[in-house]
Chains A and B, each alone.
Chain A
Amino acid sequence: EIVMTQSPATLSVSPGERATLSCRASQSVSSNLAWYQQKPGQAPRLLIYGASTRATGIPARFSGSGSGTEFTLTISSLQSEDFAVYYCQQYNNWLAFGQGTKVEIK
């Protein structure tokens, strides 16, 4: 079983600043990683797949990087609508989510 660990649990950021979220896999998942955004009361929304490919309609301020066991989601300049919980998900060996990182207003 591959365990996905996200850090930090909560990230406090001011609007307009950069946010960097981390996701670590307990063993290599190659580039088989996706990122999702979830706002309160809503279903998750796909942001990134293949570790770095933005999904359709996702703004360019969202970028993903990494491979193997270490991955990063970067939001280059936080907008008000970006404050949410973010999840990573590996699909290299079965499917599994990280526990989430909450991005809150500083």
Chain B
Amino acid sequence: QLQLQESGSGLVKPSQTLSLTCAVSGGSISSGGYSWSWIRQPPGKGLEWIGYIYHSGSTYYNPSLKSRVTISVDRSKNQFSLKLSSVTAADTAVYYCARVFEDCSSTSCIVGWFDPWGQGTLVTVSS
């Protein structure tokens, strides 16, 4: 059974860089047919997709965050990471990592739904 676990700093100062890691267990991060994603949820609010890294290593980011986001993968450690630069209080949220399934037709595949999710980690931006 695949499991994901987020880790990283829970408190980040404004203007600094948020760094999180997602450790994957029970399966290989190099398995084809999946991407690996970060999603966040500000306290009391809804879900926002941040970005994902394809199994090929290509990355795709939410246009609203693209200039500040970097997602990378370390296949030797079976984990992937998130860096979000120049953070403000608006970046305070629970950050989740998740596996993303591909949905394939006879002619093409698209990145689809999130399953499973990590338990989430709260990151607070404050001086």
Contact = CB atoms under 8 A, between A and B. Distances in A.
A66 interface: no
B46 A87 contact: yes
Nearest to A34: B113
Give chain B's interface secondary structure class: strand
Interface string B14-38: 0000000000000000000000010
B23 to A, nearest CB: 15
A36 B117 CA distance: 11
A95 B46 contact: no
Interface string B97-115: 0000101000000111111
Interface string A80-98: 0000000101011011111
Given A43-B118, A50-B103, A87 B112 contact: no
Interface string B60-77: 101100000000000000
A3 interface: no
Nearest to A96: B49
B119 interface: yes
6 contacts: A36-B114, A43-B120, A44-B114, A49-B113, A89-B47, A91-B110
Contact of B112 (A34, A36, A44, A100): A34
Interface of A: 1, 32, 34, 36, 42-46, 49-50, 55, 87, 89, 91-92, 94-100
Contacts of A32: 103, 110, 112
B113 A89 contact: yes
A7 B13 CA distance: 37
B110 A92 contact: yes
A99 B46 contact: yes
A90 to B, nearest CB: 10
Contacts of B114: 34, 36, 44, 46, 89
Contacts of A87: 46-47
Contacts of B120: 43
Contact of B113 (A1, A46, A100): A46
Given A49-B112, A100-B46, A43 B103 contact: no
